[in-house]
Amino acid sequence: MTAALVISAPASGVGKTTLTLALARAYRNRGLKVQCLKSGPDYIDPAFHAVATGRASVNIDSWAMAREAIAHLAGRGADADLVLAEGSMGLFDGVAARGVSGTGATADIAEMMGWPVLLVIDPSGQAQTAAAVAAGLRDFRAGVRLAGVVLNRVASARHEALVRNAMAGAGIPVLGSLPRHAEIALPKRHLGLVQAEEQAQIDGLIDEAARFVAEHVDLDAVLKSAEVWSPQSAVPSLDITPPGQRIALARDTAFSFVYPHMLEAWRAAGAEIVTFSPLADEGPDADADVCWLPGGYPELHAGRLAANRQFLGRLRAFAETRPVHGECGGYMVLGAALTDADGVRHEMAGLLGLETSYAKRRMHLGYRLAELAAPMPGHGPGARLRGHEFHYSTIIAQPDTPLAVVRDATGTIVAETGSRRGCATGTFFHLIAEDR
């Protein structure tokens, strides 16, 4: 039988990812099959999950996805002993307006799937108040059940005793208490954690986190608190249209932000994906019928990308006859120029007129619902696409014909419309699902 548990917290930065990775590896070390999932539009954490478990992880998102799609994706845990679904932000944090099946909150997934929540609580700067926070989260929404809490960054034995006593008084099980341990902190940068593939030491970090958590968390009690769960037996596959039959996909540390479920859905629909590395000065496969540049961190490699003449030349030649699409960072590379954080301007592919700058950072963050005004690979005019935008670039120029009317989660039109010119298209949002 499969057991399932959601790992959440009152806020971001409390330690959800580290605990998820540590628990996943600790149970794997015990011989269990562990399947991780990520609630919300995060492209970095699933890669860490895969390192910890040896199994691919995917995003499940209540704002962008139907319940059937979420159930289908969760079904990959059918052959696992334990499913760990890592939340995003705080347990009830989502957008103001409901999307397809919820607001994007982790609580939506917990209630929808019937999975209990293991809360990570950081009681730094407080003691008994931590129990009040946990009790408030437990009682806020009737359909969300609390399995217990794990305390993180506890200052001392006295501090732990005060918090434990208060939790006991509130009827909340404490399943573990982690003292401060800087050695297992994961490196971060402006869009979140540094990517798993950029960290040669990540496996050792996860091993150390697993050892540390096994010493301070009651693994048997956590496992017992998980809900026995049986996936739906006849959930259909994801209804996602691939952008082409043979897809040339940019894939390296500058272009890695693509949702795993999208690639799986493309392959399931019969498409073939052929990867290439712009950083290695490679161009798209000449036999492909479409080229897709996902997001990532091109701003950290702008000078190198601008100097890679073979990549740029082959990309431009490809776009003369076949569609090329870029998402966020990929969109920026398709543009005319990208100015890095030091104020240095780098010429990009020039397939679109977009110019962006990181010299004056401004955060753009949120769900997006786009209605296409013109076709893009895989979708015709009028198609409605759900995605998520997260970047710090400033638009200097966006002179081309808008690709879509783009709205945020409240229905307000945003300026980041995307662009089209010839065979090239681009969007600032990352596609999550089609709005059927």
Query: Which are the catalytic amino acids?
Result: 328
Q: Which residue has the tokens 């049986």?
A: 230
Give me the helices (H) in 117-274, please: 129-139, 157-169, 202-216, 219-225, 260-268
Residues in the chain: 436
- Residue 416 neighbours by CB under 8 Å, 6+ apart: 364, 368, 389, 395, 398, 406, 427, 428, 429
Cα–Cα nearest to 285, from 250, 254, 253, 260: 250
Distance separating alpha carbons of residues 216 and 30, to the nearest angstrom: 16
Distance of CA 342 to the CA centre of its chain: 28
Residues paired with residue 248 on neighbouring β-strands, in sequence order: 274, 291
Contact 311, 291 (CB under 8 A): no
Amino acid at 240: I
Measure Cα distances from 160 to 69, 146, 151, 157 in Å: 41, 20, 8, 5
Largest CA distance in the chain: 69
Q: Which residue has the tokens 């347990």?
A: 91
Contact 356, 423 (CB under 8 A): no
